[in-house]
Structure 1
Amino acid sequence: MGDVIRFDSVEQYNKLYGQETLHPLVTVVDLSKASTFPTHATMNFGLYALFLKQTRCGDLRYGKQTYDYQEGTVTSFAPGQVVEVNMEPGVRPLSYGLLFHPDLIKGTPLGQEIKHYSFFSYASNEALHLSDEEKGIFRDCLDKIHLELVRPADKHSKKLISRNIELLLDYCMRFYERQFVTRTKVNRGILVQFEELLEQYFQSDRPQVQGLPTVKYFADSVHLSPNYFGDLIKKETGKTAQEYILEKLIDVAKEEILGTDKSVSEIAYGLGFQYPQHFTRIFKKTVGYTPSAYRIIR
């Protein structure tokens, strides 16, 4: 993978691409105007970043997979993420983007809400594809932020910059929701896979070996990030992935309680619980009866 370039400041990123730094904590970049740029690099972001890719110019890899991007694709990164960039020979980067340091939004409403923008943790095959209209909205938001950066700072500057960033992120959330809808056929296929994997999990010895099933386990199995997978399942079913798993677990537990002579402890261990008391609490909270009482009344 070679040396890793770490960006802990806006200035470090701008210096690499020959961009002007107008504010120490936030920058709007037009990489088509970059005077310098690496053709191959592994980058560790200490910043939040969103880029609108105007054309395919090489490979962008996050984790094990290459980004699913083309013209009009938005890629986003959160502090701590590592991305590998490979430029095609003789091609310049063509993207318009925003980078901001976490300190910029500390003490602001956006700082409190940033964790809810789950797309920052989506994986490489989960990029956002924009329509022409959506691309215009994205650019307009960046233009408004850039206008605040080029004018003299005053007491309103930080608030307006933060609000315009929040507006951009809200639009991205809307665009992702639209993408979930337009990719319904693909998403339904993933839901079917999820259901099959759940069934296989409880029919195997995995609960005894690996414990209770996790959202991450199923997300990894279908090659998605936990955040994207969770958002997809919520969009398709109205339930969170964790609620979906719990529902299946309770169904299996009911079958074991009513269809076998196993003790409650045996059932609990077989489902992946370390402690039978934990199983009993969850079962009662969900069903309204303890496992023992449920066996009697049914």
Structure 2
Amino acid sequence: MKNTFKVDSISEYNDKVGQETFHPLISIVDLSKLKPSDPELLKTISHFKLQMNIYAIFIKDSKCGNITYGISNYDYKEGTLIFVSPGQVFGLENNEEFQNSSGTAILFHPDLIYGTPLAKHMNDYSFFSYDVNEALHISKRERNLLNECISLINFELQNNIDNHSNTIIVSSLELFLNYCNRFYERQFITRNKANKDVLARFEKLLKDYFASEQTLLTGLPTVNYLAKKLCISPNYLGDLLRKVTGKSAIEHIQLKVIDVAKEKIFDNRKTISEIAYELGFKHPQHFTRMFKKSIGVSPTEYRNLN
């Protein structure tokens, strides 16, 4: 049975794992040197859950224990990166002794980036909302680049804080995240075969959804519904589709709606409103608006053209 630990601040995390706090809003932790102050935490460190109200990035060396959200295959074996957003609950499994854990953790409070350029586009780093089986795997060269960013942050933390410290720390953190964005794009490319399999399953899900009476029961399919069926996170599904096809998940759903609608419109026994309801629209005007935006004419005009 897993123990759940709640962490609300950098100092609280550092206190739990025996790490000195050099800055109240950010911490770089060498996981091989942790010395938990709580004996109970030491006993359960190999089987626990954390709920953190701070951002966390865990770089797990390949020789460490497995992450419970599990990964089916590795692109590289130099390291695995897990990104945790505030409020997220995650778990770790480790069959080794705690002292033998290896890797690095970067933890930062949202207050660190408030009022900075980084805060304005944190949502661009969608991997903070990926599921655990969508971790980032990096090469030795990529790991070295990330280590340079970590060293820049560490240098600032180990020296006296001045008026420039926060700017340099946040800039280094942003550089780190930008590299991660690049590496995730590489991972989408190197997993081309697996991505095509996901795309095929995604398209089949859409086809089966509209072929059944599911639309009458639950309305239009959502990205969340499709992602759950595919056992991946909505953000990962959206990013994968954009990388592979150039279109978002929403765009794929809308295109499927239009394709099915075109077939149904040929049946003159059904009104446009009836077709809209069959497709899962609660309001026929929403269907008409989507159809006209996509095709250039209304469903009624399209029917009369054919």
TM norm structure 2? 0.93
Of 284-293 and 165-174, more deviation after overlay is shown by: 284-293
Of 22-31 and 83-92, more deviation after overlay is shown by: 83-92
CA distance in 2, matches of 1:93, 1:2: 19
2:263 aligned with 1:283: no
2:296 aligned with 1:292: no
Pick from 186, 200, 204 the counterpart of residue 178 of structure 1. 186
Q: What stretches of structure 1 of length at least 5 have no aligned partner?
A: none
Of 166-175 and 275-284, more deviation after overlay is shown by: 275-284
CA-CA distance at 1:208 after TM superposition: 0.7
SS at match of 1:80: coil
CA distance in 2, matches of 1:266, 1:56: 59
Conserved? CA contact 1:56–1:71, under 8 Å? no
The aligned residue for residue 198 of structure 1 is 206
The aligned residue for residue 9 of structure 1 is 9
SS at match of 2:6: strand
Conserved? CA contact 1:60–1:83, under 8 Å? no
1:1-298 residue pairs with structure 2 within 5 A? 2-36=2-36, 37=42, 38-61=45-68, 65-67=69-71, 71-91=78-98, 92-298=100-306
Give the superposed CA RMSD: 1.5
CA distance in 1, matches of 2:302, 2:244: 31
SS at match of 1:28: strand
CA distance in 2, matches of 1:126, 1:3: 24
CA-CA distance at 1:283 after TM superposition: 1.1
CA-CA distance at 1:89 after TM superposition: 4.4
Percent identical pairs in the alignment equals 47
CA distance in 1, matches of 2:82, 2:242: 22
Conserved? CA contact 2:78–2:140, under 8 Å? no
CA distance in 1, matches of 2:89, 2:268: 50
CA-CA distance at 1:222 after TM superposition: 1.0
Conserved? CA contact 1:17–1:31, under 8 Å? no
Q: What stretches of structure 2 of length at least 5 have no aligned partner?
A: 37-41
Per-residue Cα deviation, 1:136-156 (whole angstroms, up to 9, x for no partner): 111111111010111111111
CA-CA distance at 1:217 after TM superposition: 1.2
CA-CA distance at 1:67 after TM superposition: 4.7
